[in-house]
Each structure stands twice: as C-alpha cells, then as structure tokens.
Amino acid sequence: MRLRCTESGHDAGQTAVLEGIRVESGREPVDVVKTLHYRPDLFGRPFCDALELSMRGESDWTPGERELFAAYVSSLNQCPF
C-alpha cells in the first residue's frame, strides 16, 4: 500500500533531503525513505530507533548475521534495498 501523502507532504527540510537523494542517486528515493522522512517525529525516528535496537542490540546473533537475514528476506520480497 502506498501513502500518497509521502509523495508531496514533506516539510521544507525533509523535501530538501529527498531532493538531495534524487540529485546524488539520479533517481527517485524508494518509498520506505519517503515514509521515514514524512512526519519523522511520528514514525521515522521511532521506527529507526526500533530498527537500530533490533539490528544492533543485544542478541545471540551478530550484527552481520542479522544484516544477512534482512538482506535475504528483502530479496525474497523483491525489495530494491
């Protein structure tokens, strides 16, 4: 599901970040990046904090193993990142 508001509903600072990504990469930022930058106080930062904890927090698995698991799942889901 895509949220239309993430296409144009960013504040000036977030719009500048997304434009910088466009310029540097030569393509449109992927949807997850747009979502993280849309109202970052509500979703982006809390989500990134939770992601950081799950990928780098205490675990029986190394960060490298967790990255490998995430990459494998992303490939199964045909994610571009």
The verdict on residue 9 lying in a domain is yes
The verdict on residue 50 lying in a domain is yes
SS3 9: coil
Percent of the chain predicted with pLDDT > 70: 94
Name the residue range of residue 38's domain: 5-76
pLDDT tens by residue, 67-81: 999 999 999 998 876
Domains contained in the chain, number: 1
pLDDT tens by residue, 37-73: 888 888 899 999 999 999 999 999 999 999 999 999 9
The verdict on residue 48 lying in a domain is yes
Q: Which residues contact 74 (CB under 8 A, 6 or more apart)?
A: 81
The verdict on residue 81 lying in a domain is no
The verdict on residue 20 lying in a domain is yes
Ramachandran category for residue 78: left, alpha or beta (phi over 0 → left; psi -120 to 50 → alpha): left
